[in-house]
Copies of this chain bind each other. A is one copy, B any other.
């Protein structure tokens, strides 16, 4: 079935016509978005430094053109025709989902003035560049004026979008990334999760043993690491005919559509697991994008449902797969083959243990599974305060460092390894961070469902059989695009609402034996 064409035979001719015009118009908007996405990838991976200023102007123009298309009053008219046709809007149909999501997009777009959209695009392009320089120099003062601009612009954005009754500015922004997500609902999940993670961390620290970190401290040539990472993500199912892998300061996954996915990774000489984890993570995102239906490119049903669900895919491949004994059973000979003598002294137990070291640190993207969510919680609290105006950007480093001491027991040595480490705020993205933890919880819950559905799933990994899992994810999640909202999708796929239960059981079940706790 092609999602993008009309199948409902009972709809009137006027509805059919409105729907086709609406989708054609939407696909054109998708073309503009895809162009912007390729330029964004280019800026992070390829563009020479001289291109920065003008690239900001290019983004601003594309944002303006995209916004003009998204707010075209004809969209409202086409939507109204479809919405008024009861037969067409049959509950649960693909077409009614397109209309529901297009109405959501139109409402969001029309609430934002063109000047704000254009300014945000231009400022965040430049701010990303300034952030990269400030981070390199560990110079928060350099980045501060840009952060201030972005906070002000995002507070305006929240006000334009409309703060929900009983809600706060952060909610208006978060809803763009994770439909129906609010600070209150996030807090409800985060507070008990934090307590249970603290207990787990305390127990692990007091455990009777500790896996060896030696593999993570063994230098391996970058070229060989790149070859190895490519081999692994190809084996798990990333399609290089429809995507690329490059390097960038902050790994990400972009691209313009399911047949042109651009992911990046990064390498440090001393830690293969760093590159491997990053690459499998981004490949998880990439395989979600590649699994969206080509027939619906540029329309809601060809688009990922939310950042939380996106993150569930990346973390599932990075963690549930990439840090499992079954995966390392398959991986070990390939690793030894690629890295030769330097890798031969490690046993399977060494490799599996090294992939599961728990050690509180400063850097989110380097964090293990048990401490990772603490990093996310710090950022969530801070961006919530920045958005409601109770935290002045100039106080960010102090508040950041204080929380790291409290939640993770570590003293942040400098802003490079502190509040300057992540790209998101410089991209103008506030309300985004919690989706990392929501995704982590979804990943465990989805993986549980996959294990129930596919007998011998993990035994297959040990033989390099990853296709059954990818096929299942394609069928259960990817192919639907935005047909179901995240909460509904979760219930359909797993039979229950999102909770941290599966995640804590998975984590505890894996880490306690490794640490004798």
Tell me how many chains of this kind the complex includes.
2
Bound complex: CA A213 to CA B281 (Å): 51
Question: A363 at the A/B interface (Cβ < 8 Å)?
Answer: no
Give A144-176 interface residues, CB cut-off 8 Å to B.
none
Contact of B58 with A256 in the complex, beta carbons under 8 Å: yes
Please choose the segment from A181-189, A240-248, A412-420, A478-486 that sits at the chain B interface, where 4 or more of its residues have CB less than 8 A away.
A240-248
Contact of B48 with A31 in the complex, beta carbons under 8 Å: no
Bound complex: CA A256 to CA B46 (Å): 13
Chain B residues near A456 (CB, 8 Å)? none
Question: A315 at the A/B interface (Cβ < 8 Å)?
Answer: no
Could you mark each residue 49-80 of chain A with 1 if its beta carbon is under 8 Å from any beta carbon of chain B, else 0? 11101110110011001000000000000000
Give A34-48 interface residues, CB cut-off 8 Å to B.
34-35, 38-39, 42, 46-48
Chain B residues near A261 (CB, 8 Å)? 48
A258's nearest neighbour on chain B, judged by CB, is B50
Chain B residues near A53 (CB, 8 Å)? 259
Bound complex: CA A243 to CA B48 (Å): 6
A48's partner among B39, B48, B49, B241 (CB-CB below 8 A) is B241
Question: A112 at the A/B interface (Cβ < 8 Å)?
Answer: no
Most buried by B among A47, A51, A242, A259: A51
Chain B residues near A241 (CB, 8 Å)? 48-50
A35's nearest neighbour on chain B, judged by CB, is B58
Bound complex: CA A54 to CA B257 (Å): 8
Bound complex: CA A90 to CA B276 (Å): 65
Contact of A256 with B54 in the complex, beta carbons under 8 Å: yes
Could you mark each residue 234-264 of chain A with 1 if its beta carbon is under 8 Å from any beta carbon of chain B, else 0? 0000011111100000000000110111000
Bound complex: CA A46 to CA B244 (Å): 8
- A-B contacts, 12 of them at CB < 8 A, read A35-B58, A42-B42, A47-B260, A48-B259, A49-B241, A49-B242, A50-B239, A50-B243, A50-B260, A51-B256, A54-B297, A65-B65
Contact of A242 with B50 in the complex, beta carbons under 8 Å: yes
Chain B residues near A51 (CB, 8 Å)? 242, 256, 259-260
Bound complex: CA A61 to CA B35 (Å): 10
Chain B residues near A239 (CB, 8 Å)? 50
Chain B residues near A42 (CB, 8 Å)? 38, 42
Chain B residues near A256 (CB, 8 Å)? 51, 54, 58
Bound complex: CA A57 to CA B28 (Å): 9
A32's nearest neighbour on chain B, judged by CB, is B61
Q: A26 → chain B, closest Cβ, in Å?
A: 13
A239's nearest neighbour on chain B, judged by CB, is B50
Bound complex: CA A38 to CA B58 (Å): 11
**12 more A-B contacts (CB under 8 A) besides A28-B61, A46-B244, A54-B257?**
A31-B57, A31-B58, A34-B58, A35-B61, A35-B62, A42-B42, A47-B260, A48-B241, A48-B242, A53-B259, A54-B259, A55-B260
A240's nearest neighbour on chain B, judged by CB, is B48
The 4 tightest CB contacts between A and B, nearest first, are A51-B260, A50-B259, A50-B242, A31-B61
Chain B residues near A46 (CB, 8 Å)? 46, 244
Bound complex: CA A61 to CA B32 (Å): 8
Chain B residues near A65 (CB, 8 Å)? 65
Chain B residues near A34 (CB, 8 Å)? 54, 58
Q: A198 → chain B, closest Cβ, in Å?
A: 44
A297's nearest neighbour on chain B, judged by CB, is B54
Chain B residues near A39 (CB, 8 Å)? 35, 38
Q: A38 → chain B, closest Cβ, in Å?
A: 6
Chain B residues near A259 (CB, 8 Å)? 48, 50-51, 53-54
Bound complex: CA A58 to CA B255 (Å): 13
Could you mark each residue 120-142 of chain A with 1 if its beta carbon is under 8 Å from any beta carbon of chain B, else 0? 00000000000000000000000
Q: A326 → chain B, closest Cβ, in Å?
A: 30
Bound complex: CA A242 to CA B53 (Å): 12
A54's partner among B32, B47, B61, B260 (CB-CB below 8 A) is B260
Chain B residues near A48 (CB, 8 Å)? 240-244, 259-261
Bound complex: CA A44 to CA B479 (Å): 30
Q: A371 → chain B, closest Cβ, in Å?
A: 36
Bound complex: CA A61 to CA B54 (Å): 21
A261's nearest neighbour on chain B, judged by CB, is B48
A256's nearest neighbour on chain B, judged by CB, is B54
Chain B residues near A38 (CB, 8 Å)? 38-39, 42
A35's partner among B28, B35, B47, B240 (CB-CB below 8 A) is B35
Could you mark each residue 407-428 of chain A with 1 if its beta carbon is under 8 Å from any beta carbon of chain B, else 0? 0000000000000000000000
Q: A436 → chain B, closest Cβ, in Å?
A: 27
Bound complex: CA A259 to CA B58 (Å): 14
Q: A397 → chain B, closest Cβ, in Å?
A: 31
A246's nearest neighbour on chain B, judged by CB, is B46
Q: A133 → chain B, closest Cβ, in Å?
A: 14
